[in-house]
Amino acid sequence: MVHQSPRSSAEYEALMLRWGSEFTCIAPDTPGFGQSDPIGTESPSIIEYADAVVELVDALGIAGTAAYGFHSGGIILVTALRRHPDRFAALAIGGYAVWTPEEVALFGQNYLPHFLPSPYGEHLTWAWNRILEQTWFFPWFDTRNETRMSVAHDDPERVQASIRDLLDSGNHYRDGYGAVIRAPRDIPDGAAQVPPCLITAYDGDPLQAHIARLGDMPANWAARAVRTPQDHWDESLAFLLANRAGTVSAIPDNANAGFIHVKTDGFDGLIHWTGARGADRMIVHGPARESALTDHAGALAIDLPGHGLSDGWPGEAPTDWAAWRAVIDAAAAELGAADIAFEPLPIGDADLLYPDLSPERHGSHLNRAWNIVRAERFFAPWYAASAANAIAFDPADLEPTVLAVAHRARIRGVAAKACHVARAAAGQA
Annotate 94-147 with three-state secondary structure: ECCCCCCHHHHHHHHHHCCCCCCCCCCCHHHHHHHHHHHHCCCECCCCCCCHHH
Q: Summarize pLDDT for 37-67 with one digit per residue, the tens.
A: 999 899 999 999 999 999 999 999 999 999 9
Contact assessment for residue 269 and residue 261, using Cβ atoms and an 8 Å cutoff? yes
Q: What is the CA radius of gyration of the chain?
A: 23
Res. 13: pLDDT tops 80:
yes
Average pLDDT of span 61-74: 96
Q: Is the pLDDT of residue 109 over 80?
A: no
Instruction: Show contacts of 257-264: CB within 8 Å, 24+ apart.
Output: 257/35, 259/309, 259/310, 260/331, 260/334, 260/335, 262/327, 262/330, 262/331, 262/334, 263/330, 264/323, 264/326, 264/327, 264/330
pLDDT 10s digits, 301-348: 999 999 999 999 999 999 999 999 999 999 999 999 999 999 999 999
Per-residue pLDDT at 248: 75
Predicted confidence at residue 249, as pLDDT, reads 75
The string of pLDDT tens digits covering residues 194-212 is 999 999 999 999 999 999 9
Q: What is the pLDDT of residue 343?
A: 97
Per-residue model confidence (pLDDT) at position 44: 96
- Structural contact between residues 87 and 59, judged by C-beta atoms closer than 8 angstroms: no
Amino acid identity, position 180: V
Asked whether the beta carbons of 373 and 346 are under 8 A apart, the reply is no
Give which of 247, 205, 246, 250 is closest to 224, Cα–Cα. 205
Alpha-carbon distance of 246 to 390, in angstroms, equals 63
* 75 has a pLDDT exceeding 80: yes
Strand ordering across the sheet containing 88-94: 65-70, 88-94, 197-202, 221-226
Collapsed DSSP state (helix, strand, coil) of residue 284: strand
pLDDT tens-digit series, residues 80-103: 999 999 999 999 999 999 999 989
Predicted confidence (pLDDT) at residue 19 exceeds the cutoff of 80:
yes
* Nearest alpha-carbon partner for 267 in 199, 208, 315: 315
- Parts of the chain belonging to CATH 3.40.50.1820: 9-114+173-242
Q: What pLDDT sits at residue 253? A: 78
Q: What is the pLDDT of residue 255?
A: 82
Bridge-based pairing state of the strands 197-202 and 88-94: parallel
Give CATH for domain 9-114+173-242.
Answer: 3.40.50.1820
Summarised one tens digit per residue, pLDDT across range 132-190 is: 999 999 999 999 999 999 999 999 999 999 999 999 999 999 999 999 999 999 999 99
Compute the mean pLDDT over every residue in the chain, rounded to the nearest whole number. Answer: 95
Among residues of the chain, what percentage have pLDDT more than 90? Answer: 93
What's the pLDDT at 280?
A: 95
Cβ–Cβ contacts within 10 Å for residue 168, how many? 21
Contacts of 8 (CB under 8 A, 6+ apart): 29, 33, 34, 35, 165, 168, 169
- Examine the pLDDT at 254 and tell me if it is beyond 90: no
Band (pLDDT 50/70/90 cuts) for residue 251 is: confident
The mean pLDDT of 97-113, rounded to a whole number, is 89
pLDDT value, residue 106: 86
The strand pair at 300-302 and 281-284 is best described as parallel
CB 107 within 8 A of CB 83: no
| Sign of the alpha-carbon torsion through 84, 87, 89, 92 | negative
pLDDT tens figures, 265-310: 999 999 999 998 889 999 999 999 999 999 999 999 999 999 999 9
pLDDT tens, position by position, 335-368: 999 999 999 999 999 999 999 999 999 999 999 9
